[in-house]
Amino acid sequence: MVDPAHYEVRYRINPWMQPEQWMRDAQGLRAAARRAYDALRCALREAGCDVVVADGAPGLPDMVFPANAGIILDGRALLARFRYPQRRGEEAAFLAVFEQLREQGLLKEIARFPPGCFQEGAGDAIWDVNRRCFWAAYGPRSARESLAHIADFFDQEVVPLELASERCYHLDVCFCPLSGGEILYYPPALTRPALRRLRERVPVDMLLAASDEDLGRFSVNAVNVGRRIVMAAPTPRLGSMLRERGYSVIPVDLEPFKMSGGGAYCMTLRLDRSSLPAVAARVGDREAAWA
pLDDT for the residue numbered 266: 98
Nearest to 195 by CA among 207, 213, 177: 207
DSSP string, 8-66: ---S-SSTT--HHHHHHTHHHHHHHHHHHHHHHHHHHHHTTEEEE-B---TT-GGGG-G
CB 186, CB 209: distance < 8 Å: yes
pLDDT for the residue numbered 273: 95
Is residue 103 helix, strand or coil?
helix
pLDDT for the residue numbered 289: 52
pLDDT digits (tens, 9 = 90+) for 65-103: 999 999 999 999 999 999 999 999 999 999 999 999 999
pLDDT for the residue numbered 290: 47
Question: pLDDT-derived band of residue 278, with 50, 70 and 90 as boundaries?
Answer: low
Average pLDDT over residues 203-230: 98
Judged by average pLDDT, the poorest of 17-21, 258-262, 279-283 is 279-283
Is residue 190 helix, strand or coil?
strand
Query: From CA 74, how far away is CA 217, in angstroms rounded?
Result: 32
Is residue 86 helix, strand or coil?
helix
Query: From CA 29, how far away is CA 165, in angstroms rounded?
Result: 28
Is 284's pLDDT higher than 90?
Answer: no
Output the CA torsion sign for 9, 13, 16, 21: positive
Question: pLDDT-derived band of residue 185, with 50, 70 and 90 as boundaries?
Answer: very high
pLDDT for the residue numbered 130: 96
Q: Could you give the residue numbers annotated as active site?
A: 170, 266
Share of the chain above pLDDT 70, in %: 95
Mean pLDDT of the chain: 95
Please enumerate in sequence order all residues whose Cβ is within 8 A of that of 171, keeping only pairs 6 or more positions apart, or say none.
123, 124, 125, 126, 135, 136, 137, 161, 163
Please enumerate in sequence order all residues whose Cβ is within 8 A of that of 239, keeping only pairs 6 or more positions apart, or say none.
249, 251
CB 156, CB 148: distance < 8 Å: no
> What is the fold of 4-269?
L-arginine/glycine Amidinotransferase; Chain A (3.75.10)
Question: pLDDT-derived band of residue 277, with 50, 70 and 90 as boundaries?
Answer: confident
> What is the domain partition of the chain in residue ranges?
4-269
Please enumerate, as own/partner, the contacts of 20-28 that have beta carbons within 8 Å and a separation of 24 or more. Answer: 21/259, 22/259
pLDDT digits (tens, 9 = 90+) for 103-156: 999 999 999 999 999 999 999 999 999 999 999 999 999 999 999 999 999 999
CB 208, CB 222: distance < 8 Å: no
Angle in degrees, CA 86, 215, 32, rounded to 5: 60
Question: pLDDT-derived band of residue 287, with 50, 70 and 90 as boundaries?
Answer: low
